[in-house]
Amino acid sequence: MRVAMIGTGYVGLVSGACFADFGHVVTCVDKDELKIERLRQNIIPIFEPGLDDLVATNARDGRLKFAVDGAQAIREADAVFIAVGTPSRRGDGHADLSYVYAAAEEIAGLIEGFTVIVTKSTVPVGTGDEIERIIRERRPDADFAVVSNPEFLREGAAIDDFKRPDRVVVGTDSERARLVMAELYRPLNLNETPILFTGRRTSELIKYAANAFLAMKITFINEMADLCETLGADVQQVARGIGLDNRIGSRFLHAGPGYGGSCFPKDTLALVRTATDAGSPVRLIETTVAVNDARKKAMANRVADALGGSVAGKTVGVLGLTFKPNTDDMRDAPSLDIVPELLKGGATVKAFDPEGMKEAATLLPDIQYCDGPYDAVAGADVVLILTEWDQFRALDLDRVKLLMNAPVMVDLRNIYSAPDMKVRGFSYSSIGRPSES
């Protein structure tokens, strides 16, 4: 089948490359000429394991193309995917749908023959109705169907998530659209992947509900971590104890500094706004948003506590800046709340991240960026682990201790053992576990 993918951000580029790898002919369209030219040269704008090879292979074989002008690709397409950004709108937290509606306007003037227009972007309930209205108003003669097909891609594991998903959700009442979508995803039949066909509004809500539930699960275990610290319990054992219950499951039960990234913060906020406007507020999600925001801001206090109450005049070596490992994404990363608080308290901050420093430098310009983890901890009064990159899990701790002014570690990802750190002579604090000094 022929596919036009409007937008070459995280979702659009990964989805386009994977559809091409399924054997479809895909054209990824973006208004950014430099970005398109670089993609043609296989210069990938994001870090995602395996994506560069996937793009190169399918571009070489002629199944994946990149274009600034999408007119021809849209005219020839069986399916046109809208995969543009929907950031939080400034001031009110609603999803900014201006890029989605601009794409709909452009698509309306170009489609020929029956075309399935698929919303891959995360959008509030009812957006598909508005897209259909825009296109119908512009092209009363057009033969098309608007479909919701939300993405469920984890950064750092997006290719595997696309090719081996837990499920595919398709929202449409059109039988012809169902057939087109079934054909697009037919390669997943080998894995017996469930394809859930629903109404369009239901599909739109499924995406928000899924992200809100996962964000709530993270926030729940973070609050349990705080309780563990007060009562002398171990949150990792609590998480294991409840995660072995099949009704709960172990995933997303990892205590830390709070969730961040491109999805959970904006999607929970958008769901709150949508529910409030509909007169059916979602109190659990409202609380989740508030608790998570407060948690990220409070994490700097843990560093101050480890240093006797103040970071003034101290050097903090920060390991990890991105919101999670295996990505260069800095959007709503906890570091964006924690590092400024450390600077405000009078600390000097040295930092290293394997992939995120280029983006971080534009957001956190007042810190020193280092060439590696040992450079970051050299001369530090405390080392702060913010992101659980694999290379931070097996540091030469004897070397770290020798390089630091004092052997103090604040581990916000619980990647080390408190008893082991005590044996090695570190003053060590973590999340939801008894401290060892």
Catalytic residues: 263
The tokens describing 41, both together, are 């040269």
Q: How far is CA 306 from the centre of its chain?
A: 30
Q: Show the beta-strand stretches assigned E in 179-325.
A: 195-198, 315-319
Q: How far is CA 377 from the centre of its chain?
A: 28
Compute the distance between CA of residue 100 and CA of residue 259 in angstroms, rounded to an integer. Answer: 26
Compute the distance between CA of residue 92 and CA of residue 148 in angstroms, rounded to an integer. Answer: 25
CB distance 49 to 12 below 8 Å = no
Compute the distance between CA of residue 151 and CA of residue 165 in angstroms, rounded to an integer. Answer: 10
Q: Exposed e or buried b for every residue in 381-415, given b needs 16+ CB within 10 A?
A: bbbbbbbbbeebeebebeebbebbeebbbbbbbbb
Cβ neighbours of residue 129 under 8 Å, at least 6 residues apart?
Answer: 200, 201
